[in-house]
Structure 1
């Protein structure tokens, strides 16, 4: 990268988001670390700074248009125009369909879909002005359907359609949009899934690894590495794609 560019990563206080923020910091990006808890964001931003990068932690609820606009404006003012956006913020409210509440449905749709919409709308103004941009949305292998995750699966599938539309609309401005769809990755979310299924996380990991061709589960750094490529200058001819990072083939 010839000049320092500014990236924003949402849901970056832990897990895949934190790993991505730290990876992009090492790759030479200034990083806006966004999540609900600003103090937790600052911990991640501090690690980026300790490694020699520039970073800022900002507390933002991605379902709030006002908070999104204010957070993006703060990143722009303190770090520079954000031309890379990783929409990673996500939650789960798993349940079988007949037990799922409206609140379960709305909360998941709000964070994943509305959040990605609001963040991208706010950042695209900087990208189109700079005539350069990279958007990466976090989908999931659950987009293909997963028992107990009607809300999450629908949201993650929706992000794939959102991604392809962004690629069509923003391509002429030098902006690419892609989605990364992780398989089983060790995280707080997968621990919560194990709890819902009433199995130990160790047994859940062992069973899952046995089904994965590479013989192990994913780590947040595996996903961060793929994101790092997609936001690089070298990935300028890759757009509108869904990349499954799952240790084996998925349709």
Structure 2
């Protein structure tokens, strides 16, 4: 039985790293992509089935070389997980065009470039694309004019990919994480922010990186063979309920 290959961007930390580890546990090999070479090298140092590829997904020439290198190493690509992303949380009037473009280059352009470059390989394997959106792409929030807009565009791009690539057997879906208990989130979320999130989510807790990874793995697996063009909010119910009314639940 041919071993499957996943390509994961933004794999040096967080959801990307958790996803890479879960795929490896399930018998896949993983091409782990990140532009932070030091962090990526450290993350992959003890892995036998995860290989580091240091590239910036926002640069077209690097993306082309990345795909060539991954195919040279593994010979095939069965799944592409577009996870690489950046964020700056600023008011609309304080968001410079340079900041806007920096976020779009990675969060939106990177998804387009990597997916497009991988299409020939995915045609061969009838593979899957999973784009990582965000709850911020499904509902508006303060300080996220660039980040939220980039993720909303990724959600629609996923539908375009599903519509156009289905005839080749390629599936495309989008996972939209809600508040996730990452090191970065815990460092920047104040007690008031955490309390507000918990009040707004029916499950009343942050998610974990591994819980997001489990959904990604499912969408890349044969168990999801008839699932395409879908946006799955993996968010403890945050998006579905709108405004949290914890007093009414008690």
**Correspondence for 2:224:** 235
Q: Which residue of 1 aligns with 2:207?
A: 218
Distance apart, 1:138 and its partner CA: 0.5
Does the aligned pair in 1 maintain the 2:60–2:113 contact within 8 Å?
yes
**Other structure's SS at 1:250 match:** helix
- Cα offset for 1:125? 1.2
Residue 24 (structure 1) aligns with: 23
CA distance in 1, matches of 2:81, 2:128: 8
CA distance in 2, matches of 1:19, 1:61: 20
> CA–CA distance in 1 between the matches of 2:115 and 2:149?
19
- Shift of residue 84, structure 1, vs aligned partner: 0.5
- Measure the CA separation in 2 of the matches of 1:89 and 1:46: 20
Sort the Cα spacing of 1:47 and 1:211 in 2 relative to 1 into closer, same or farther, 3 A. Answer: farther
TM-score norm. by structure 2 comes to 0.90
**TM-score of the superposed pair, with normalisation by structure 1:** 0.90
Partners of 2:5 and 2:109 in 1: how far apart? 23
Counterpart contact for 2:177–2:234, Cα < 8 Å: yes
Structure 1 distance, partners of 2:67, 2:26, is 21
Structure 2: runs of 5+ lacking an equivalent: 241-250
Aligned to 2:6: 7
Deviating runs (4+, > 6 A) in structure 1?
Answer: none
Structure 1 residue 138 corresponds to structure 2 residue 135: no
Whole-Å separation in 1 of the counterparts to 2:136 and 2:39: 27
- Is the aligned partner of 1:58 residue 2:57? no
1:197-208 alignment, distance < 5 Å: 200=190, 202-208=191-197
**Which residue of the other structure, out of 58, 65, 73, is the alignment partner of 1:70?**
65
Q: CA deviation at 1:189?
A: 4.7
- CA-atom RMSD, angstroms? 1.6
Tell me how far 1:191 sits from its aligned partner. Answer: 4.3
The answer on whether the counterparts of 2:76 and 2:125 sit within 8 Å (CA) in structure 1 is no
5+ long unaligned stretches in structure 1: 195-199
Partner of 2:243: none
Aligned length: 239
- Output the CA distance in 2 between the equivalents of 1:96 and 1:86: 30
Cα distance, 1:104 vs structure 2: 1.1
**C-alpha separation between the residues in 2 aligned to 1:89 and 1:5?**
21
Question: Partners in 2 of 1:39 and 1:81 — Cα distance?
Answer: 26
> What aligned pairs does 1:157-236 form with structure 2 within 5 A after superposition?
157-191=152-186, 193-194=188-189, 200=190, 202-236=191-225
